[in-house]
Chains A and B, each alone.
Chain A
Amino acid sequence: MPDAPSAQWSDPASVARAAQSVRQEVQERLTRLELPFNALGLDPFGISRRHLEYFFSFLGFFYRHYFRVKTFGAQHVPASGRAMLVGNHSGGIAVDGGMVIASAFLELDPPRLAQGMAEKFIARMPFAGEWTSRVGQFTGLPEQAVRLLEDDRLLMVFPEGARGTAKLYRERYSMVDFGTGFMRLALQTGSPIIPMGVLGGGAAVPTVTNLYRVGKLLGVPYLPVTPYLIPFPLPVSVEVHYGEPLRFEGTGDEEDHVVEGYVEVVKQRIDELIQRRRQERWGPKRSAQ
């Protein structure tokens, strides 16, 4: 949206105008979102059009004016039908997840709702649990994932899970173990995998250390600590790179070594997306850090 007003942070009126413009865009796109809403604007999973409007207006403002997200390769995400967006995770509070959801809604035509697989603790939290379920971000359970894919939804998966967001700043471009669960789901449901590389999530919330005991008291897996203490994201630039869809044939019941081989292919593709972009941006020297 090149003609959208950009927010001048020193001028509250321009921030309000920017927010209003995002809201109008969200409203327009919501009319083209292909979910089976009933007369009250709810789909069979309880996803609510009204909640989505607030959710996307909020994410969209951060997407356009705070992180100024750039999305590359949007044409690789299928316009309809089941698919899994699989990417790297970083940055303490899953800024990357939020920006991928915004990207799928704001950059695809028609817009799509990327449905993440939320951590279990969220459903127990008042308000958080209510909001995540109204906007289609359900607890990450295999049965739930299969049902959504069989309903031809767009699933967003970060195979690293909470271990991914727990990465420290210096580890932000590395990837921890992927597991094989997502690949078995893809094989079982015949879903293509769209690898994605997300850059900037780790810099947005530069985690110095994670407090696991304090987190336990608060009912979350850990509490990320930044140089400025709180895990509020910095306005760094974030990029989402979608790669060409990968299709794997199988039933999901293959031997571990076979599935692990497929997972390695996906992980490699994600790493290529990240490293290629780091080379372009910083040249070979800095990107080798």
Chain B
Amino acid sequence: MKILIAGISGAIARQLAVRLVAEGHQVTGLDTRPWTDAPKQITVHRVDLRKRAAADVFRRWRPDAVVHMATVSALAQVSDAERSRINLGGTRALFEHCLGHGVQQVVFVGRHTFYGASPDSALYHTEAEPPVELASYPELADLVAADLYASTALWRWPTLRTAVLRVCYTLGRGGQGTLATFLSRRRTPTILGFDPLFQFLEEEDVVEALWLTVKARLHGVFNVAGPQPLPLSLVIKETGRVRLPLPGALLRRVVGRAGLPTLAPGALNHLKYPVVVDASPFQEATGFKHRHDELAVLHAYRDSHPVRG
């Protein structure tokens, strides 16, 4: 099968590309960022998904399946308007290219933070739930919109196999992603009096989940998670970091300074209330089982990313 990965230069996307090649598939990728040491079987096109050159790759190469990982989080060093264009404009362009060039299967890789962190929601969100608290986290709005846009493909183009994944945080050797960035320094700020549950997967398990999604030709919206969630305080402790509990109002002012990680203002609620998903429909549909349990994930991250700063 010919599989195109949008956003191939990200840490997880690279591992997925290598995995797909190992499974006997042809892989090509799009990204504006370089992947200098990519294996020779994998062609990386340095193009923007929203530009003409990206459409040309679809037309010439005619992929069977497309994995969309070219979205960016609020932590990306781009303006709000640009992030919105990448996430929403890019997702729209990707679906148009797929429809125009005979793609049969699309995997949209989204995030479980879609559900929002709120004091009055139950633990374990299911796919049926709408996003909440968008107003308090405007930096997440374009990702939620991209997720909802991708979901419309399910009824607009029913013959296109579309999987919309809401994947929990990832942690691993690559050291990329929202949670890894948050844990990158020695001192990790928390909000005094709050200790929300965090749910995460090892990078290898995420790659496995994505591969199984492609393999099972999944159609629908699915939460993706593995090990049970843990309180943030334990995540910090078991990764060898130091917890720095601060009152919420103070934390808002000091993030990004004094050796503390950068946080989107709206992300503060995610340090107060849990976002935990029920991933049992995904596990039933694909047979996915995580290989790394919660403690192993944290210890592997601690060992591969000793504290700095």
Contact = CB atoms under 8 A, between A and B. Distances in A.
B99 interface: no
Nearest to B229: A46
Q: Is the interface of B mostly helix, strand, loop or mixed?
A: loop
A150 to B, nearest CB: 11
Contacts of B192: 126
A40 B236 CA distance: 14
Contact of A141 (B122, B195, B273, B274): B122
Interface residues of B, number: 24
B231 A42 contact: yes
B158 interface: no
B295 A39 contact: yes
Contacts of B193: 125-130
Query: A46, A125, A147 — which one has the most chain B CB atoms within 10 A of its CB?
Result: A46
Given A39-B295, A46-B274, A134-B231, A129 B119 contact: yes
Given A40-B230, A40-B295, A123-B273, A130 B122 contact: no
Interface string B184-228: 000000011111010000000000000000000000000000001
Contacts of A125: 193
A120 B294 CA distance: 29
B124 interface: yes
Interface in B86-122: 119-122
A209 to B, nearest CB: 28
B231 A139 contact: no
Interface residues of A, number: 26
A124 interface: yes
A144 B126 CA distance: 12
Query: B119, B121, B234, B294 — which one has the most chain A CB atoms within 10 A of its CB?
Result: B119
B1 interface: no
A143 interface: yes
A144 B278 CA distance: 12
Nearest to B295: A39
B120 A130 contact: no
Contacts of A44: 228-229
Contacts of B228: 38, 42-44
Contacts of A128: 193
A124 B119 CA distance: 6
Contact of B231 (A46, A127, A129): A46
A147 B231 contact: no
Interface of A: 38-40, 42-46, 48, 120, 123-130, 133-134, 138-139, 141, 143-144, 147
29 contacts: A40-B234, A40-B294, A42-B230, A42-B234, A44-B229, A45-B123, A46-B123, A46-B197, A46-B229, A120-B119, A123-B119, A124-B119, A126-B192, A129-B119, A129-B193, A130-B193, A130-B194, A133-B197, A133-B274, A134-B195, A139-B119, A139-B120, A139-B122, A141-B121, A141-B122, A143-B122, A144-B122, A147-B122, A147-B123
